[in-house]
Structure 1
């Protein structure tokens, strides 16, 4: 089943990036526009034509036709168009969904996304057979999502798993023989606890007390397993939720700060600007302007 270009309602698409198990899209921009974003899902872009600069957590990725870009969950990113039209297939997969696939610790790196250097080495000008296979799998996933046949969930999990394995192989990652360590499992438990309790007071000492681990151990191992320092991860979870609320509600910035777990609105403002490179109100206005332009 072909996926029609821009055949979706933009607000629903943005909502799906935070709330759906997965979302398949086929997008094309014909005008140059910059956009800042952050969302719950890992986003995979398969670029058909054109080119753009993406800045993910402040690091530059230049993407063009034949490239595959992976934007990790809750990583702030900004896009600037270069050559138009800029067409790409997209797959967003929610962390809660890919964790349920139980693909193992080795596969988790795929969902975190590569560094700029790894991107250039492994995901620039991807071999035609891999590129075509990725698009074919996305079309199959899109079809499963819409036709709702028997054993739909099984087919969906199979297709997402195949996509993950293709990316894993293209990255040149090697599967470790040993099983997931007890320490790694504890770090993922801490990560899931943060995901569910970000509205509550969270810091290194409180997590140390709750999980009976030394603060130094958590600091070292969490960054190794999750790919981000603990404090940065807590703030990324909270700011991602703040961005979602700015997009989908009319709540005040002060209320949103409290809903995201910040005692002080000034701390929320500072962290939001650090991560998103703009204020919450600027983000809300940019989002509204973008939706107006793309109607």
Structure 2
């Protein structure tokens, strides 16, 4: 088994680094690292995992993740096909947590930044005008040198700290139980589920990936994902269903089977459990929003 994806992204001589990433697909490895991370998706679609949170993403996705919170932006299966013309593009900033030191954040002038750091412990997704404003500032980083780069980063953090349009992602108090080889093991599970969630997934097949019994696998998975494996699979399926409902190419019955549910009643039940509204209510809500915007 390969080495775990516990990554160190910047050196001790750097306060932060900026990356303009273009590739056929996003890094498919479940990983974590000791830096804060700001990620803006310019091009690409898929499923985003932040701690125990699962959600689809697309262009314009802006997320702040804290040190050591596991995360993964996994591209849709079409991006992994040979010679596909899709491609992905993202701008990412990694910055040292020492920039956000407690003595500094206790100062009155840093109140909003302190609240941002506190919220970031769960991962933060921004929406509204905030992603666009942050993207504009990120574009200005590459030509800057020295302290001007730090000022640019602080301007980005100020926009995020002042934003009122955001969602906290992972559950309150979520703490994964990680050992040195957990990242690779969880990657195997996530990768398998993403490839097979539209069909029936046998628990034994997944347990075999990790050379475990089904009982041992269930005990292993739950504290690391903060949910049962069944719930995890259903969240992946419902996330895909939400995407299809907004595309309006299928009726609800077709979508339920497209997402791996054997019966429409089970699909409706799981959808309401996870989204807290029925598929029809969800579709109607966003169609109304779309009509209002247009």
TM-score range, shorter chain: 0.3 to 0.5
In terms of fraction of residues, the more helix-rich structure is: 1
Q: Output the TM-score relative to the length of structure 1.
A: 0.47
Q: Output the TM-score relative to the length of structure 2.
A: 0.47
